[in-house]
Amino acid sequence: MGYSARRGFTSGSMRPTGAQRQAEMQQKIQEMQAKMTAAQDEVEAREFTASVGGGVVEAKVNGKKEVLALTIKPEAVDPEDVEMLQDLVVSAVNEALRQANDAMEQSMNDITGGLNLGAFGL
């Protein structure tokens, strides 16, 4: 055991203390949270477009999962078959939302290395 005016009595080991390790871990968590927030903001600013029915119905959403635009070409409108048009709209919107969701998941996985951080509230 040695004595240092700076460190007091030591066992000769330069291993970090529990408090030092905890402070380092908290710093790493804060850095990860900042990266995740930045990545989330980036995805939320992006736009995702999906078209169905050979392009007769197109939906555009943003990363916040808000519908920005819906385009329906005249040839998709058949008064005799409104149900088909409804299905096409739902399909286009769902596909665009899926793309936005996949982009967000991929962005988070890139930062966390695939770790499930839900238990930590991240």
Report helix, strand or coil for 13: coil
Tens of pLDDT along the chain (122 residues) come to 565 566 666 655 567 788 889 999 999 889 989 999 999 999 999 999 999 999 999 999 999 999 999 999 999 999 999 999 999 999 999 999 999 999 999 998 888 887 665 555 55
| Domain-located, residue 101 | yes
Nearest Cα to 62, choosing from 105, 111, 106, 101? 101
| Domain-located, residue 75 | yes
| Domain-located, residue 40 | no
Q: Which domain holds residue 103?
A: 48-112
pLDDT at residue 16, rounded to an integer: 76
pLDDT at residue 112, rounded to an integer: 80
Number of domains the chain is built from: 1
| Domain-located, residue 15 | no
| Domain-located, residue 8 | no
CATH of the domain at 94: 3.30.1310.10
Retrieve residue 21's tokens. 């390790």
| Domain-located, residue 28 | no
pTM for the model stands at 0.70
- Residues 110, 45: contact at Cβ < 8 Å? no
| pLDDT tens string 36-57 | 999 999 999 999 999 999 999 9
| Domain-located, residue 72 | yes
Retrieve residue 74's tokens. 């005249």
